[in-house]
């Protein structure tokens, strides 16, 4: 039986092998080999579609850190199946497209390793049932997308785009992590399935609302929701295959997945409803409004992606109202918003992936994406033009394409929700159909700009870097396959509804009984209803606005560039850099003495402060053994040697006095019946003293530094402070009985580890990993020293030969 764990791990394994295979596979493009990974996983997942459609789920778990309730647990249901198919299916087409798009001079081994790394991370996100494991994969998508966006790292824009994407998405991910920990604190489990079953007992918990907000921050930042959308346009500096994969079908859909997965957890709450639906509507409008003004085709698609993500997010918010009402005939009507969200999720991946590939073809073949330099391409690039028309009209919501079906359902959901009798929707609900209609008009306008200004009108070959010609067949296969889905879903939508969408609705509404009741039949024609009138209005008003584009487009000039979210981000980043520079220069003085003062003062304040604050300081010498005369004399010798060291006028004198301290400690070990420690101390002290003397032989003459009185006073205060704190800690430890002494555990060293010597047992068994790592560190240091010596020897030999 196919294991979902294998689907996650398989891409990581191949990603690690790609660099080695790249050097050995010369007879065929490495992309053909890499493409087998998503194709294999897609086929394996597709074979499970009938089982999942019948209501079966697949659960696998492997113990990882059971003591912390963190296990590698995977869960395949209807919702994760949708995303798994998109990740692997679109991934296969993107890799096929990249084989013909990327030059063989590129660092292909790195590109495909990063792509597989991202694929595995996305599969980990959608299949993980454990919140901590989900978070690990969540942040891994940010790391791998950073590598993909910055693939052309010689471009400054690519580096900055990758940095912005990572900073924003990782910040949201950290907030989400805190939310996950709070969720565990409430429910006592990291399992998403168990949380869904038990969350109704914790809706009044004080952490419920903060947890919800933190989880939404993670989702909004990853899915480029307003005002976190600013990273997506800059991320378009990535190669087009990356944009087609990350920003239409996978990474930006991770936040959508998170909201859908946690709808059963938070969906009945009013804050969740308004946050998700309103932010989604704002994102949809702002993305479509800004897409119209973009002169770059890829930037236009970036803002269109933001808008479409807002559409899907708002639908998930609107559909969550059903969980507040509860299962009834009335609530089933509102679940259609969620159905439309999942339907449009699939449709968007098909037409947007095809459109990104069209932009890649235009840029690859003509050397530009600037709309102002394009036009008249349809006669010389007929296949590319056909793909653009199918994808563009589907995004605009016109028949006979799949985007029309889900856009009609979107309009229907906004109209239905405006009449709901909860959350004050009878008063404020009208904003949803109005904003949806206005945003759709701008969507229609930018779709016309994409098609008409690029492919129709007069050609401008004098403005192009290359002659106009059609793309090679290999680059056309992937977008044509996606276009086939765009058209095919329109004519056979119920196949998708029955086998894909129906089980996913059961995942979002697990307590609503038969999922068949939540899955409506999808029709292209529903008569003359409100949503059809809204669509006709979009077409008429959108066409008029496009026709008069030059007259009203100057309105964008009213928006000052000084007050944008990008400027806010840049200001925050600049302020952070300046502030960190000031702070760093303040303490990074370049003097070792200053760094030691920082460390010791921190030690005095934290350790000494906690000692007195916790009341742990106590001295009781009544039960201590008496101090013998020779012990007092030995301590006096050590004190004299330590003080005399401060006034030594030569390095040799200071070294010998330091040796007096070391050998005196060895004598104490002998007195206290620890001969093994005494022997170790003697060996170490002898070796270090000899090394000191050897090093000093090669150093220049020692000149004592003259320090100011202030420096001397500071040194004295810090030194005395450290000595006093250490002494107080030592006295307090002797009389601290709050916890059982740890030494009692090691008294059974022979039974526990088979060692007769407690010290050896601690070093070799109880602290075995510590000892091993210490040895590894020494081994690495030895290798470094050996390498430096060998390199120096080779250089000297070369100099002699020359």
| pLDDT value of position 566 | 85
pLDDT at 688: 86
Domain that holds residue 624: 591-743
Looking at the structure, tell me whether residues 352 and 457 fall in a common domain: yes
Segment 59-72 shows an average pLDDT of: 87
**Residue after which a domain boundary falls, among 547, 562, 582:** 547
227 preceded by a cis bond (ω within 30 of 0): yes
CB 76 within 8 A of CB 507: no
- 761 and 638 both lie in a single domain: no
Co-location of 541 and 475 in the same domain: yes
Is residue 347 within 8 A of residue 405, CB to CB? The reply is yes
DSSP 717-739: HHHHHHHHHHHHHHHHHHT--SS
**Do 368 and 490 have their domain in common?**
yes
- pLDDT, one tens digit per residue, over 119-146 is 999 999 999 999 999 999 999 999 999 9
Percentage, residues of the chain above pLDDT 70: 97
For residues 442-461, average pLDDT: 92
741: pLDDT strictly greater than 80 = no
pLDDT of residue 276: 96
What is the band of 524 on the pLDDT scale with cuts at 50, 70, 90?
confident
313 — pLDDT class (breaks 50, 70, 90): very high
Same domain? For 358 and 340 the reply is yes
Tell me, yes or no, whether 431 and 448 share the same domain.
yes
The Cα 671–Cα 692 span in angstroms is 28
Q: Domain check: are 495 and 403 in the same one?
A: yes
Angle at CA of residue 754, ends 750 and 757, nearest 5°: 60
Q: Is residue 563 part of a domain?
A: no
pLDDT of residue 466: 84
Alpha helices (runs of H) in 105-207, residue ranges in sequence order: 108-127, 131-149, 156-187, 192-198
- pLDDT of 802 reads 58
Distance CA 412, CA 398 (A): 16
Mean of pLDDT values over 713-726: 89
Predicted local confidence at residue 400, as pLDDT: 93
Lowest mean per-residue pLDDT among 93-107, 371-385, 650-664, 723-737? 723-737
pLDDT digits (tens, 9 = 90+) for 157-176: 899 999 999 999 999 999 99
Cα 306 from Cα 446, distance rounded (Å): 13
Q: Looking at the 3D structure of the chain, how many domains does it have?
A: 3
pLDDT at 278: 95
Q: Does the residue 146 lie in any domain?
A: no
- Is 799 found in the same domain as 721? no
Q: Pick the last residue of a domain from 699, 719, 743.
A: 743
- Would you say 503 and 78 are in contact if contact means Cβ atoms under 8 Å apart? yes
Per-residue pLDDT at 459: 84
**Domain membership flag for residue 173:** no
- Strand, helix or coil at 128? strand
What does the mean pLDDT of the chain come to? 89
Residue 73 β-bridge partners? 61
Q: Residues 256-279: what's their mean pLDDT?
A: 94
Please name every residue paired with 76 in a beta bridge, in sequence order, or none if there are none: 58
Helix segments in 451-564, DSSP class H: 454-455, 473-491, 493-496, 502-508, 530-547, 549-552
Shared domain check, 770 and 720: no
pLDDT tens-digit readout, 743-802: 777 777 777 777 777 777 887 777 777 878 888 888 898 888 888 887 766 665 666 665
What is the rounded distance in angstroms from the CA atom of residue 193 to the CA atom of residue 216? 19
Does residue 50 lie within any of the structural domains?
A: no
pLDDT of res. 796:
59
3-state class (DSSP) for residue 96: helix
Does the pLDDT value for residue 149 go beyond 90?
yes
Q: Could you tell me if 445 and 355 lie in one domain?
A: yes
Maximum Cα–Cα distance across the chain: 108
Residue 430 has a CB neighbour count (10 Å cut-off) of 15
Distance of CA 12 to the CA centre of its chain: 16
pLDDT (average), residues 4-18: 92
CA distance 629 to 105: 81
**Who wins on pLDDT, 603 or 247?**
603
- Count of CB atoms within 10 A of residue 29's CB? 16
Are 726 and 754 found together in one domain?
no
| Phi then psi dihedrals of residue 622, to 5 deg | -65, -30
Q: Is residue 245 part of a domain?
A: no
Please state which of the ranges 225-234, 584-593, 657-666 shows the lowest mean pLDDT. Answer: 584-593
Give how far Cα 246 sits from Cα of 172, 240, 267, 332, Å: 18, 10, 27, 33
Tokens of 175: 């907030």
Residue 77 has pLDDT above 80, yes or no: yes
Same domain, 671 and 780: no
Q: Is the preceding peptide bond at 400 cis, omega within 30 degrees of 0?
A: yes
> Is 113 inside any structural domain?
no
Residue 185 is assigned to a structural domain of this protein: no
Domain boundary pick from 709, 743, 777: 743
Burial (Cβ within 10 Å: 0-12, 13-18, ≥19) of residue 753: middle
Residue-wise pLDDT for 391-435, tens only, equals: 999 999 999 999 999 999 999 999 999 888 888 888 888 999 999
The answer to whether 492 and 521 have CB atoms below 8 angstroms apart is: no
> Is residue 767 a part of any domain in this protein?
yes
Residue whose structure tokens are 């010498």: 621
CB-CB contact of 354 with 390 (8 Å): yes
Q: For position 124, what pLDDT does the model report?
A: 95
Report yes or no on whether pTM surpasses 0.75.
yes
């Amino acid at each position: 039986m196919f294991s979902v764990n294998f689907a996650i791990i398989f891409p990581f394994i191949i990603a690690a092998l790609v660099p080695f295979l790249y050097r050995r596979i010369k007879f065929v493009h490495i992309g053909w080999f890499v493409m087998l990974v998503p194709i294999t996983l897609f086929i394996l997942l597709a074979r499970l579609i009938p089982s999942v459609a019948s209501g079966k789920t697949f659960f696998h778990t492997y113990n990882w850190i059971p003591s912390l309730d963190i296990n590698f647990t995977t869960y395949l249901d209807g919702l994760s199946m949708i995303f798994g198919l998109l990740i692997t299916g679109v991934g296969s087409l993107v890799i096929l497209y990249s084989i013909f798009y990327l030059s063989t001079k590129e660092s292909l081994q790195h590109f495909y390793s990063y792509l597989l790394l991202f694929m595995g991370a996305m599969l980990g996100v959608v299949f993980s049932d454990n919140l901590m494991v989900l978070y690990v994969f969540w942040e891994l998508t940010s790391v791998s997308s950073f590598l993909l966006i910055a693939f052309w790292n010689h471009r400054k824009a690519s580096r900055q785009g990758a940095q912005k994407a990572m900073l924003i998405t990782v910040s949201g991910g950290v907030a989400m992590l805190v939310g996950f920990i709070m969720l565990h604190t409430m429910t006592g489990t990291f399992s998403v399935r168990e949380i869904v079953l038990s969350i109704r007992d914790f809706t009044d918990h004080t952490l419920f609302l903060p947890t919800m907000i933190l989880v939404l921050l993670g989702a909004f930042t990853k899915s480029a929701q307003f005002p976190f959308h600013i990273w997506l346009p800059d991320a378009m500096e990535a190669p087009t295959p990356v944009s087609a994969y990350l920003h239409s079908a996978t990474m930006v859909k991770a936040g959508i997945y998170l909201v859908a997965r946690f709808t059963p957890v938070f969906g009945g709450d009013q804050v969740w409803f308004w946050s998700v639906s309103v932010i989604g509507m704002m994102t949809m409008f702002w993305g479509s409004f800004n897409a119209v003004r973009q002169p770059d085709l890829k930037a236009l698609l970036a803002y269109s992606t933001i808008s479409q993500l807002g559409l899907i997010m708002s639908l998930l918010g609107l559909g969550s109202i059903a969980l507040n009402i509860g299962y009834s005939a009335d609530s089933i009507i509102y679940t259609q918003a969620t159905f439309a969200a999942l339907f449009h999720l699939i449709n968007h991946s098909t037409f947007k992936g095809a459109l990104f590939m069209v932009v890649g073809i235009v840029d690859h073949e003509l050397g530009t994406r600037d709309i102002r330099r394009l036009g008249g391409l349809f006669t010389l690039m007929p296949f590319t033009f056909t793909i653009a028309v199918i994808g563009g009209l589907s995004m605009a919501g016109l028949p006979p394409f799949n985007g029309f079906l889900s856009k009609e359902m979107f309009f229907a959901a906004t109209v239905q929700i405006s009449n709901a009798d909860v959350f004050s929707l009878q008063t404020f609900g009208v904003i949803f159909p109005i904003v949806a209609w206005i945003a759709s008009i701008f969507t229609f306008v930018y779709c016309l700009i994409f098609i008409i200004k690029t492919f129709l009108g007069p050609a401008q070959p004098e403005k192009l870097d290359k002659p106009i010609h059609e793309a090679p067949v290999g680059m056309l296969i992937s977008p044509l396959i996606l276009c086939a889905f765009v058209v095919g879903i329109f004519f056979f939508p119920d196949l998708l509804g029955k086998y894909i969408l129906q089980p996913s609705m059961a995942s979002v509404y697990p307590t609503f009984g038969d999922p068949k009741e939540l899955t409506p039949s999808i029709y292209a024609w529903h008569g003359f209803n409100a949503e059809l009138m809204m669509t006709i209005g979009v077409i008429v008003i959108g066409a008029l606005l496009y026709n008069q584009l030059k007259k009203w487009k100057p309105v964008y000039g009213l928006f000052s560039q000084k007050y944008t979210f990008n400027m806010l981000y840049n200001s925050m980043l600049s302020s952070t850099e300046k502030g960190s520079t000031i702070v760093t220069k303040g303490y990074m003085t370049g003097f070792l003495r200053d760094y030691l003062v920082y460390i010791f003062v921190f030690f005095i304040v934290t350790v000494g402060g906690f000692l007195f604050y916790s009341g742990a300081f106590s001295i009781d010498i009544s039960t201590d053994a008496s101090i013998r005369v020779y012990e007092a004399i030995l301590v006096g010798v050590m004190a004299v040697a330590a003080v005399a060291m401060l006034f030594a006028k030569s390095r040799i004198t200071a070294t010998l006095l330091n040796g007096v301290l070391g050998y005196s400690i060895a004598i104490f070990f002998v007195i206290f019946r620890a001969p093994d420690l005494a022997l170790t101390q003697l060996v170490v002290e002898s070796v270090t003293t000899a090394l000191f003397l050897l090093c000093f032989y090669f150093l220049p003459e020692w000149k004592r530094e003259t320090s100011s009185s202030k420096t001397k006073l500071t040194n004295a205060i810090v030194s005395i402070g450290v000595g006093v704190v250490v002494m107080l800690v030592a006295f307090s430890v002797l009389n601290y009985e709050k916890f059982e002494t740890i030494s009692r555990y090691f008294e059974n060293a022979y039974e526990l580890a088979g060692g007769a010597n407690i010290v050896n047992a601690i070093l070799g068994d109880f602290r075995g990993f510590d000892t091993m790592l210490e040895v590894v560190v020494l081994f690495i240091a030895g290798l470094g020293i050996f390498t430096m010596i060998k390199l120096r020897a080779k250089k000297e030999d070369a100099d002699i030969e020359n």
